[in-house]
Amino acid sequence: MLRVRTIEDVVILDGFVQGITRGLSYPTGSLLKISAHYLPNFGFELSDDNQAGFEALSLKKYFEGWERAAKVTLDTIKEATRKAGFPVDNSHLNVEVGKIVVELLMNLAKADKTRQFFLTDIGSGDGETTSAVLDAICNEGAFELAERCEFMLVEPSGENAWNAVNSLKGNGKDKKGHRINKEHKVSITMVSGTNHDFLGRLNEGESDIIYSNAVFHHMIFPTYLDTLREGLAADGVLVIGDWYTTIFKHPALIAEILEDLGIDKVKLGEFRSLFNCSEGDEKKVYAGEDMRDEIITNYRMKHYIVGIGNAFLTIPEENRDEFLEGHCAFKDRKEDLEKKGFVTDSEALGEHPAFGGIKNNVRDVDPYGAAKVGAFAKAAKPPAAANGGQDKKQKLRAAA
C-alpha cells in the first residue's frame, strides 16, 4: 500500500484511484473526502505537519464538487434517494433539529426571562433547517420567544444564503417568508463566504445555540469543532443532525461498492491491490459484537450509492457527482466532540440550564441509527491544546 504523507502523495494516489474508476457512472472522487478516522486504512500517515494541508485540500475538493453540481444533478440524486433504502431523509432530521433547538431555547428562556438569543445555522443551504426551527417555535406557540431570537445563516454559497433569507424572511415581492413573520418580528441575517472562511465568520462567544444538519460529514477533520466551540457562549449548545455510516471506512467496503457499480474484474483487482486488500476482507471489517445495525446501514448506504450511480447514467458526465464522503460512526463523532471540549453524556448534561427536562440528548431518527440528532453543551474547561498554540483560523488560512 502506498504511504501518504504529503499533498504530492495524495495527488499520486488519487490519480491511481481515478484511473481505475474512470468510466464508472459514479466515480469515487478524492480519497481526501473520507473521514480522518479512516484515512490510515488507506495508507495515510497523519501528523501535525500535514493535517492543515490535507484539510485545506479536502475542503477544496468538496467545494469543487458543489460548484459542479447542477440542478439536474440534485434532481437526479433526489429521485434516486426516494428509491433507495433509507426510510428518512434530511427533512426528517430537520424535524428533530427544530424540536430540540426549541426545547433548549425554552429552557434557557425560562431560566432568564430577559435574555436575548443568538442562533447560528451552519451550512444553512436553502434555509430548510432554520425553517424547521421556526416551525417548531410555531408548533409550541412560543412566539414571544421568537421575538427574542436573532438567527444567522452561515453558508458558503452567497446565492443560497440570499435565497434562504428571502424564503424565510420574505423579500416583499414574491417571497413572503415563513408564516411566523405575519405577526412576530424575527431577525434573520446571513453570512456567506468561500472555502473554509465561512466558519471563521463566527464571533467569539456570541452564539447561544449553533445548529446544523447534514453538513459536518463533509468535514473530514474535527478542526471545525474548535471554531464552533469558540463561537458558542459559555452555556452554549451545539446541535448536530447528521448521517452516520462506516461505508467509507475501509478499501474492502469501497471495493464492494465499485463491484456493484459495475467496475470490471481487472480494475477491481487493481483497486484491491492498491490497498492490499482481498475479496472477503469486508468480513474482517465487520468482525465484532453489535455490528448488526452498522452492517444494515452500510448495506443501505451502498444500495443508495449504486442507485444514484444508475440514475447518473441518464445525465451528462460533467454533471455527475462523486461518491466518497466524510461520514463516520457516531462513536467517532462523539469521540471528536469530547476531545474538542463538548459534553456529550446525557447524565452529565442534567445540570446544564438548557437541558432541564430533556432526558435524551441524542435522538435516533432512523431505526438503525443511520440518522441522529444530538445536542452537546460546551464544556466548562477548554480541551488540552494540541495545535502548538497556533490559532486554528490562521492555520486554515495559511494552508488555503
Partner 1 sequence: MLYTLHEPGTIFTDFSDIERFDREFWEITKGLPIRTGSLTRLNSASFRLWRIGLTEENKPQIKALGDEFRRRDYIEMKNDSTIEGMETTNWSTMLRNSMARVMVHLAGEVLTALDGADREFHICELASGYGKTSISLASSLHAQGSDDLLSRMHFHFVDYSQEKLERTAYNLKPYRPAGIELAQQNDEQCLASATTAKFDIIFSLCHMHKKPFLGDLLEWIHERLAKKGAVISGDWHSSLSAHPRLLLRLLERIGAEPAKRRLLEDMFQNSLREPLPEMNAEESSAAIDHQEYWASVYNEILTSPSTKAMKSRHYVLSAFDTSKQRQELMEERGFTLDMDKIRKAFPSAKIHANPIHMIPETDRASVMIALKKRQTHPPG
Contacts to partner 1 by CB under 8 A: 70-72, 75-76, 79, 82-83, 85-88, 91-92, 94-96, 98-99, 126-128, 131-132, 135-136, 138-141, 163, 167, 170, 174-179, 181-182, 359-360, 363-368, 373
Q: CB–CB of 282/252 below 8 Å?
A: yes
- How many CB atoms lie under 10 A from the CB of residue 104? 27
204 vs 143, 208, 366, CA distance in Å?
28, 11, 34
Residue with smaller CB distance to partner 1, 99 or 249: 99
- How many CB atoms lie under 10 A from the CB of residue 28? 22
What's the closest the beta carbon of residue 340 comes to partner 1, in angstroms? 25
Residue with smaller CB distance to partner 1, 194 or 314: 314
143 vs 135, 136, 170, 180, 235, CA distance in Å?
11, 10, 18, 8, 23
What's the closest the beta carbon of residue 172 comes to partner 1, in angstroms? 10
What's the closest the beta carbon of residue 294 comes to partner 1, in angstroms? 15
Residue with smaller CB distance to partner 1, 85 or 193: 85
Q: Cell numbers 408564516 label which residue? A: 179
130 burial via Cβ count (<10 Å: 0-12, 13-18, 19+): buried
For the chain, the helix, strand and coil percentages under 3-state DSSP, each to the nearest 5: 50, 15, 35
Residue with smaller CB distance to partner 1, 278 or 360: 360
Residue with smaller CB distance to partner 1, 42 or 86: 86
What's the closest the beta carbon of residue 392 comes to partner 1, in angstroms? 33
What's the closest the beta carbon of residue 116 comes to partner 1, in angstroms? 23
First-last CA distance in the chain: 28
Residue with smaller CB distance to partner 1, 98 or 341: 98
47 burial via Cβ count (<10 Å: 0-12, 13-18, 19+): exposed
CA 371 to chain centroid, in Å, comes to: 11
Residue with smaller CB distance to partner 1, 31 or 105: 105
What's the closest the beta carbon of residue 98 comes to partner 1, in angstroms? 7
Nearest to 133, CA basis, from 202, 210, 194, 67: 210
Q: CB–CB of 191/164 below 8 Å?
A: no
What's the closest the beta carbon of residue 99 comes to partner 1, in angstroms? 8
